[in-house]
Amino acid sequence: MMGLLQRCLGSLLARGSHGRRLLILTYHRVLDAPDPMLDGGVDTAGFDWQLRVLAANFNVLRLDEAMARLAAASLPPRAVALTFDDGYADNYLNALPILRRHGLSASFFIATAFLNGGRMWNDTLIESLRRAAGPRLSLPAIGLDALDISTPQARLATCARVIGHLKHRPLHERQEAVEQVANSIGQPLPDDLMMTDAQVRGLRDAGMHIGAHTASHPVLAAVDAATARREIAEGRDYLRGLLQDPVDVFAYPNGRPGHDYSRQHVDLVKQLGFKSAMSTAWGYADAKSDLWQTPRIAPWDKVPWRFGVRLLRAYREPQAAAV
């Protein structure tokens, strides 16, 4: 099946002219094994075969090189770059060895406030709901009652509902609500989900590329301008101090143009000196793309043929949206 997929991809891609198109893939985690509470993630086996497909059919560039060549109109055919958002420990523990085995590089966008034992707000919810007992759960503190957690599928759907209910609330209000949920369930939660400073340095030392992703991962459209500036600058400055390297690429938290960030945030990223920034708008980047709103796709397919179809589709569709 894998050999057939590679032959089909090679044949179909050879028919098109993609020499000045860049496809950027975005990941978050590389899990030890499939997890019913993390349906959108990829595990080590899946990441391994995805990299096999990419290495055999595409020119995989480190993001900083890819962006420079995009700007200079010197991309090779079938150019791809790999990115990770947030700063999970499994990026270092699981993704890095697989990347090195395939001789590939990736860029890692780090939300710095969660390093060294921290936990992102959505993971506090996921891990709390994972441990909640009983077939039903009531969370009156955040206005949700009679939540179904009777099956793995129902628990996953309830988790998505709770996260969606809180995602766009102001930072302090959201954090208070998350703590209320965790306290009401009252179970110990993991403190090793995110990387340490040493692991971030280890990625850099292994030839990986590090970018900024704010300090505490707010939805920029949900905070005031001063908070947005502080979050973006603090995340970058922390990484600069940690690595003693320039940090000049940024990824918008959540990243949907016009919904999670606006034009003022694009202008702010430029003012702060970043050379480019990543959105999560669908499609490929080309000479017409705004370098501070570069599109990316999420390759979370569970089987190779769907992954191949997604890549082919993305190579034929320009950026879906910008602000």
pLDDT (tens digit per residue) in 42-71: 999 999 999 999 999 999 999 999 999 999
Architecture of the 2-117+191-316 domain = Alpha-Beta Barrel (3.20)
Entry field: residues in the chain: 323
From CA 245, how far away is CA 48, in angstroms rounded? 30
pLDDT (tens digit per residue) in 171-193: 889 999 999 999 999 999 999 99
| Amino acid, single-letter form, for residue 273 | G
Q: Which residue has the tokens 């992102």?
A: 120
pTM over 0.95: no
Q: How many CB atoms lie within 10 A of CB 278?
A: 28
Distances (CA, A) of 192 to 27, 196, 238, 245: 19, 9, 20, 26
Judged by average pLDDT, the poorest of 155-164, 181-190, 228-237, 301-310 is 301-310
The mean pLDDT value of the chain amounts to 93
Provide the H-helix boundaries in 58-211: 63-71, 89-90, 96-102, 121-131, 152-166, 171-185, 197-205
From CA 168, how far away is CA 177, in angstroms rounded? 12
Q: Taking Cα atoms as reference points, which of 168, 76, 56, 75 lies closest to residue 122?
A: 168
9 — phi, psi (to 5°)? Answer: -60, -45
pLDDT (tens digit per residue) in 11-39: 555 554 455 899 999 999 999 999 999 98
Q: Taking Cα atoms as reference points, which of 245, 321, 249, 227 lies closest to residue 81?
A: 249
Task: Look at residue 41 in the predicted model and tell me its pLDDT.
Answer: 81
Domain residue spans of the chain: 2-117+191-316, 121-185
Q: Taking Cα atoms as reference points, which of 56, 19, 125 lies closest to residue 307?
A: 56
From CA 214, how far away is CA 232, in angstroms rounded? 4
From CA 205, how far away is CA 39, in angstroms rounded? 31
84 — phi, psi (to 5°)? Answer: -130, 140
Task: Look at residue 285 in the predicted model and tell me its pLDDT.
Answer: 96
Judged by average pLDDT, the poorest of 132-136, 235-239, 270-274 is 132-136
Residues 6+ apart with CB under 8 A from 169: 177, 222
Does 299 score more than 90 pLDDT?
Answer: no
Rounded to a whole number, what is the distance in angstroms from the first to the last CA of the chain? 41
pLDDT (tens digit per residue) in 215-270: 999 999 999 999 999 999 999 999 999 999 999 999 999 999 999 999 999 999 99
What DSSP state is assigned to residue 75?
P
- Name the β-bridge partners of 25: 82, 297
